Amino acid sequence: MNFSDRLLIASFGGLMLLMLSLTAITYQLSHDANTRLNSVVQNQLIKLNLARKMQFIGQARTDSLQSMLLIDDVFKRDETWTYFIDIAQYYIKSREQFIALLSAEEQELMLEIDLLANEIVSSHHQSIDFLQDGDYKSAKNILLNQVLEKNKKYLTLFSSLSELQISNAQMAVDSAKIEFLFIRKTLSILATLSLILGMVIAYYVIRKRHHLTRQLESANANLELKVNERTADLQNIQSQLRASNKQLKKLATTDDLTGLFNRNYMNSHLAKELSRFKRYHKTFGIIMMDVDHFKQINDQFGHDIGDKVLSEIARQLQKGIRTNDAIARWGGEEFLACCSEINTSSLQAIAENLRQTINHLIINDIPDTDISISLGCSVIDNNGNILQLIKQADTALYLAKDNGRNRVEMASLEVIENASVATSNVTSIDRNK
């Protein structure tokens, strides 16, 4: 064997050794990159699941608090309170698992979420304290004015955290792509060398490259599918939270029995009308209504029938007002309608129409019982305010009661003075007589 043969054999052996070394290095790089990619995918899936659980628990606590405000039964309220406490523990456990998986940037955002969650919990406790003291109005105000607004911000922060997690996952995928690109280039070099050393080695290298390429494409496709699924889940949770918040807002402004606006909403509506009046001089008026002899209906037929009577009267009153007007259950058997851009004669006409509508109303459960309402009307004046406007309408309503019920009285200086004289010798007036 001559020197050239020995050199060729040595060169071939060196090239084979180089190929084997490069192949081993490439395989190790591919394995490491694939392991890291799988770890990133698994880590992101765990974080997304924990984030979803924490969002659900946060909303569940708010829903439980809402339920306690609506439940009259003490035992059911205690059961809801127990559930309210239990899910707090689940939140703490989920958070401990979640925080350990977060990056430094994600932990900064999670710190904001924790601060806001603590504020929401504090508002929960304030609302529960009022609820236990029987102050449902204050409890509901905290729920409406604090918890709902903070829940919106809580949802926004969690959405930002989810977007950051998705961005980090995408960065990890991009990094994996770069690593796989390097691997592919290395395999291309091996393929070139394999053409020189023989078809067998070339075939092996090409197969190896194709195999790794398929792994990369499969891993990318699987990650993209999982990210899309989790994104869809988060969007669904956001939609559910928005629907829950909308329902809470409706409960806070609507009377459960009649479906009309409640007193809180009407107070806000009257304040807006007064602001429009002061700015644009758009006159408005109110009609205070009270069901005549309603106590006798409750006493004779029971509260279930009384509730049906109130519901039917509310439905007829709602149909009887104009589209742009608002009507609310003011309290008990009292209703209050606010009529925008109206004068005294038009307001009195609307009130008379409502009176006649209710006077002709027949309730199937009590067909032989006459149903009627008394109405007091008042129109805002330049020096007026909401309390004065309501007091004037209330005075007119008292006068309608004193004058035989089932009638409309319009508030005026003469009416108010007459009503004051008429009631000066009476300790109290029972509207339900």
Predicted local distance difference test score (pLDDT) of residue 155: 76
Q: Indicate the DSSP class of residue 256.
A: T
CB atoms within 10 A of CB 257: 12
* Domain limit, last residue, from 233, 253, 273: 253
326 forms beta bridges with 338
331-354 average pLDDT score: 97
**221 lies in the same domain as 304:** no
In three-state form (DSSP H/G/I as H, E/B as E, the rest C), the secondary structure along 310-332 is HHHHHHHHHHHCCCCCEEEEEEC
Which segments of 226-369 are extended strands (E)? 285-291, 326-331, 334-339
Domain count across the chain: 2
Q: What is the pLDDT of residues 248-258, one digit of tens each?
A: 766 789 999 99
94 lies in the same domain as 240 = yes
The confidence score (pLDDT) of residue 307 equals 96
Residue 92 has pLDDT above 70, yes or no: yes
For residue 52, the SS3 value is helix
Of the residues 213, 234, 253, the one at which a domain ends:
253
* 231 in the same domain as 210: yes
Does 433 map to a domain?
Answer: no
Tokens of 301: 């037929």
Residue 428 within a domain: no
Residue type, 281: H
Same-domain pairing of 286 and 230: no
The Cα-based distances of 414 to 185, 365, 399, 410, 424 in angstroms read 99, 41, 11, 10, 15
Say what percent of the chain tops pLDDT 90: 35
Say whether both 292 and 170 belong to one domain. no
Same domain, 330 and 199: no
CA dist list (Å): 364 to 261, 359, 367, 368, 369: 25, 15, 5, 9, 10
Question: Can you give the residue range of the structural domain that contains 104?
Answer: 3-253
Of the candidates 351, 346, 323, the one whose C-alpha atom is nearest the C-alpha of residue 336 is 351
Greater model confidence, 68 or 397: 397
Compute CA distances 38 → 44, 218, 226, 280, whole Å: 10, 11, 12, 66
Residue 373: closest CA among 362, 359, 363, 392: 359
Could you tell me if 408 and 290 lie in one domain? yes
pLDDT tens per residue across span 138-170: 877 877 777 777 777 777 877 887 777 778 778
Task: Please state, rounded to an integer, the average pLDDT across all residues of the chain.
Answer: 82
Together in a domain, 169 and 192: yes
Same domain (yes/no): 236, 351: no
Q: Does 403 share its domain with 301?
A: yes
CATH number of the domain enclosing 306 = 3.30.70.270
The SS3 of residue 100 is helix
Which residues pair with residue 372 across a beta bridge? none
- In this structure, the answer to whether residues 280 and 363 fall within a common structural domain is yes
Q: How far apart are CA 70 and CA 255, in angstroms?
A: 12
Q: Are 266 and 330 spatial neighbours (Cβ–Cβ below 8 Å)?
A: yes
Q: What's the whole-number mean pLDDT along residues 172-201?
A: 75
Residue written as token pair 């084979």: 16
- Is it the case that residue 233 has pLDDT exceeding 90? no
Dihedral of the alpha carbons of 167, 168, 170, 175, in degrees to the nearest 10: 140
Q: Are residues 299 and 415 in the same domain?
A: yes
Per-residue pLDDT band at 426 (split at 50, 70, 90): very low
Residue 405: pLDDT above 50?
A: yes
pLDDT recorded at residue 423: 44
Place of tokens 């659980």: 53
Cα-only R_g, the chain: 37
Top-confidence residue, 401 or 130: 401
Over residues 265-322, the pLDDT tens digits come to 999 999 999 999 999 999 999 999 999 999 999 999 999 999 999 999 999 999 999 9
% helix, strand, coil for the chain, step of 5: 75, 5, 15
